[in-house]
Structure 1
Amino acid sequence: MTAELVTEVGAAPEAPTRGRQVRRRLFADRMAMTGLVVAVVMIVAAITAPLLIHLEGQDATTYHPELLNSARGGVPRGAFGGASGAHWLGVEPTTGRDLFARALGGAQISFVVAIGTLVVQLLLGVGIGLAAGLGGKIADSFLGRLIDLSISFPQLIFAIALLAIVPGDFPRPLLLMMVIGLFGWGGTARLVRGQVLSLRTRDYVAAARLSGAGRARIALREILPGVSAPVLTYAALLLPSNMISEAGLSFLGVGVRPPASSWGQMLSTATTWFQADPTYVLVPGLLLLVNVLAFTLLADGLRTALDPRAGLRAGRR
């Protein structure tokens, strides 16, 4: 009889899983989806930069002095920085290098450094945060003070000093990843430590401990899944922050060096030309602004999708 009723009425609809709920809320957030689309477009453009530059028919290192107005000190001829069918975004003042190719090269540097730095920050931050939260009082006290020291450390000054003394033949993108990552893991570690201190008192963690599971097993099997959501949201915010850090260090002359291009380096050079031709300032400046805004919107939407109550609390403020 029961089987017949089930056959006639049909099975009860399956409750949506947490993953489906998160995706549904994220896709319903228009601002987050706009940020996601822009971020994906920029990442694809950075990955396919060699192909796009080849389609334009230019490169980032060839000088084009014939496109410059020597009477005005090397300003590009024509409107919008000398933009044309051959040079889609114009050329660079004083050198005539193609601005489209250099902007895409800057996108590659920016994403490589930002993502590589994020990996360093997550590895150090999550590892030290787990160790502090699951360790004893002595370990927690020591690692907690280390986290506080990392957060309060004058990162910019030491990063500039360290980058300035490293030999020039050392790969600058790799050096930037190491320096920014080593100085920027404290926030992740503090977040993870706080989450671990809350989760380690849960019943399922106590059950795992009573069953004989070691600290490593508890950290990986029981604690880490519960920490993943806030860490993922924080990582989405760290990525644009890392892009700004790379651009800022390159702007100050201690980051990426020519002939490699960087948006910060381009902005530094453009400060002497913005009155004569603002195009050279607008291109890297707008690209940096759009990327940072896109990832920030995506991170905010991801935070709300993972924890709707956090979004409601933020809306009431």
Structure 2
Amino acid sequence: MTATLAAIEAPAEAIEGRSPLVLAIGRLRRDKVAMISLAVIVLIVAMAIFAPVFAAVTGHPPNEQYRDIGLTPDGLPRGPNGTFWLGTDDLGRDVLVRIAYGARISLLVGVIATAITVAIGIALGLAAGFLGGIVDTVLARLIDVVLSVPFLLVAIALVSVTGPSLTVTVFVIGFFSWASVARIVRGQVLSLREREFVEAARSLGAGDTRIMFVDVLPNVLAPVIVYTTLLIPVVIVTQATLSFLGLGLPPPTADWGGMISASQNYYTTAWWFIFFPGIALLVTTLAFNLFGDSVRDAFDPRADRQR
């Protein structure tokens, strides 16, 4: 009998104290797709951080135009060679170095704009779902209004007034993306605000602010984390799209959307000019999306994880 009780208690002790976050991290570590995509993300981050090293090794600053050795006698970009490993662009600049510096822009905008989006969405979603009443009504209608605004038209109008810049790009993306996060958080909070632990905290004299951020927020973080990992690639593609349309960063700043836009007239004669920036954008967004899918599955142990 003693041995049987010990066998029953041992697994319980092993499981005790393991939070959903710890369990999710354990599932991620066993997920090959998650680990491969995370390794790719780390390599892309390293490329962005060490972009000046690429420039130093090749001897080519990102905005330096090599019209003599970087362009053919006909004025066309040169293909990959020993001097320019990934070829040159239409102005004779090193494509490899500009891709590395473009990674900085994409990751910077992706992280900052996503952080702004999530922060605003969490704050307003918590307030709407927990406080209810007129606050919920006003914020819910505000969420509907923001979601109905034509994003590109507003971006074009704003850029035409202020001019393209990194600040405008981050502001536009962050401001028009928070509503989706707020809607997710509001729905989760509405299902939690009448739970016993909320009533217990209120009976102990805790205020609304403390209950929202100490008791309720940790219980809605899982879907927010999942949405955040999936939002970063969306922001990166959005920034590249704005740059492609001429609404992103002003030249000569190196960014992938601008490079793809500049290569439109050369795709038949200089394939590398559009191919390598396009591959960089594709690999980055694919890695973030695959990792985001793995994070979603890790927080949902019931999901079908046949890989």
Question: Considering the TM-score relative to the shorter chain, is it more than 0.5?
Answer: yes
RMSD between aligned alpha carbons?
A: 1.9
Structure 2 length-normalised TM: 0.92
**Alignment partners' CA distance in 2, 1:298 and 1:179:** 25
Q: Name the counterpart of 1:296.
A: 289
Listed as ranges, the matches of 1:167-246 within 5 Å are 167=163, 172-246=165-239
Q: Name the counterpart of 1:42.
A: 44
Q: Name the counterpart of 1:103.
A: 99
**Alignment partners' CA distance in 2, 1:128 and 1:267:** 37
Count of paired positions: 297
Verify: 1:76 aligned to 2:72, yes or no. no
Q: Name the counterpart of 1:92.
A: 89
**Alignment partners' CA distance in 2, 1:273 and 1:37:** 33
**Alignment partners' CA distance in 2, 1:164 and 1:214:** 46
Which amino acid in structure 1 is aligned with residue 281 of structure 2? L
**Alignment partners' CA distance in 1, 2:151 and 2:295:** 28
**Alignment partners' CA distance in 2, 1:233 and 1:142:** 27
**Alignment partners' CA distance in 1, 2:182 and 2:251:** 35
CA displacement 1:176-201 (0-9 Å, x = unmatched): 11111011111000000001001112
Instruction: State percent identity of aligned pairs.
Output: 40
SS of 1:70's partner is coil
Aligned with residue 272 of structure 2, among 270, 279, 284: 279
SS of 1:272's partner is helix
**Alignment partners' CA distance in 2, 1:31 and 1:283:** 24
CA displacement 1:9-51 (0-9 Å, x = unmatched): 9x94532613432122112222122111111110111112112
Q: Name the counterpart of 1:63.
A: 65
- Please state how far the C-alpha of 1:167 moved relative to its aligned partner: 4.1
Is the 1:125–1:188 contact (alpha carbons within 8 Å) kept by the matching residues of 2? yes
**Alignment partners' CA distance in 2, 1:51 and 1:137:** 56
CA displacement 1:209-250 (0-9 Å, x = unmatched): 111111100011111101111101000111000001100000
Aligned with residue 26 of structure 2, among 16, 24, 27: 24
SS of 2:15's partner is coil
Structure 1 length-normalised TM: 0.89
Aligned with residue 262 of structure 2, among 266, 269, 272: 269
Q: Which runs of 5+ in 1 are unaligned?
A: none
Decide which moves more: 186-195 or 30-39.
30-39
